[in-house]
Amino acid sequence: MRYLADLKEGQQTVDIYLCANKQILKTRAGKTYYSVRLQDQSGTADAKIWDLNDGINNFETGDYIKIDASVVSFQGGLQFNIRRLRVADEGEYDPKEYVPTSQFDIDQMYRELLTYIDEMDDEWLKQLASKFFIEDSRFKDTFKGHSAAKSVHHAFYGGLLEHTLGMLKICRFMASTYPQLNRSLLYSGALFHDVGKLKELSTFPIVEYTDEGQLVGHIIIGIEWISDKIREIKGFPETLANLLKHMIIAHHGELEYGSPKKPELIEAVVLHYIDNMDAKIMTFTSLFKDVDEKDDWAGYQRLFEGNIRRTRY
C-alpha cells in the first residue's frame, strides 16, 4: 500500500485506510458533508466527502475503508477528496499496517527480554516472571503488542515491550556496577512496573483509557495481577511479595504522581530513575521528529515543563 505520508498534491489513491474519526457537518450553504480522519502507520490525514452519492457506502469510526480519492492542497496542508468509499473486508488489509509500530523486531525484542529472566538469581521471582512472560501465552501476546502510553512516550505497537527492554538493559548495568542492588528484584520491577497498562489502556488501533483504567489505574491493576500469579506459586515468601509490590507501587516516585508510597527500597529508587530515563529519551527523540530540521528548539513541551533543544552546534 501507499502510505499517507508518501502521497502528494495532485495524486490519486485507491487504497484502504483506517477511519480514525468520522464527523457529519454542514456547509454554510446548508449542504451535509463528511469530514474523515484517515490513519495508517505513517500518520493521519484529513479527508472530505462533499458529495454523498451512491458511491459512498455506510461506514463508521473504526472501520477500515477502501477509498478512491484525489489529493489536493488546502491552507498549507493536504486534503483527500473522497469520491468513492466502501468498508473493506477482513483479509483485504493487515491491521498492523494501520498503527504506528516499533522500529525494532518485536519477536526478537521479546527473546531478548527473556534472557533477563534467565539471569535472575532469585528462584521465586524467576518463577513468577516465567508464569507471566513464558507460560501465559495470552499475556505474552497482549504484552508484545501494547503501547506504553496513550500518547507521549512509546505510544506505538510494541511500545511497552521496547520500553521494558530499554529499562532492563539499564537495570543490568546498574546491578553489575552497584553490587548492593538486588538484581532479581530490580529486573522484576522493570518487567512488571507497567503490566497494569495492559488493562488500563485498550489495544490498537484505538488506544483509550478503559473504565477499569480510569477507576483503578495501572499501578493497582498490576499489583492485583501479580498477587494472583503469586498465589499460584506455593511457598512464595510473603515478605518478598511485599518487596516486589512496593517496587510497582513506588515507581512513579512521588505521591503526587500517583504512587501511594514513595520509594523505600534502594531498588525502588533506582527503578524510578531508570523508568524516567528511558521514557524521556524516547519522548525527546520522538518530539523532535515533528520539528523542522532547521530549528534547534521545539518550543514549550508540557512533559519537560519548558522549551527543549536539539543537541547540535
Report the residue number, 57 or 227, with the smaller CB distance to its own copies: 227
| Residue 12: φ, ψ to 5° | -110, 150
CB 71 within 8 A of CB 10: yes
Task: Output the CA–CA distances (angstroms, integers) from residue 299 to 224, 295, 305, 310, in the order listed.
Answer: 40, 10, 10, 11
Q: Is 21 helix (H, G, I), strand (E, B) or coil?
A: strand
Q: Which is nearer to its own copies, 49 or 170 (CB)?
A: 170
Measured from the CB atom, the residue of 9 and 89 that comes closer to its own copies is 9
By beta-carbon proximity to its own copies, the closer residue of 6 and 224 is: 224
CB of 262 to its own copies, least distance (A): 5
In angstroms, give the least distance from the CB of 161 to its own copies.
16
CB of 197 to its own copies, least distance (A): 14
Give whichever of 97 and 136 is closer to its own copies, judged by the CB atom: 136
How many whole angstroms separate alpha carbon 206 and alpha carbon 81?
A: 24
Smallest separation, CB 138 to its own copies (Å): 17
Taking the complex as a whole, how short is the minimal distance between the CB of residue 92 and its own copies, in angstroms?
A: 31
Rounded Cα distance between 7 and 46, Å, is 12
What is the rounded distance in angstroms from the CA atom of residue 133 to the CA atom of residue 126? 10
Q: How far apart are CA 53 and CA 213, in angstroms?
A: 42
> φ, ψ for residue 13 (rounded to 5)?
-140, 135
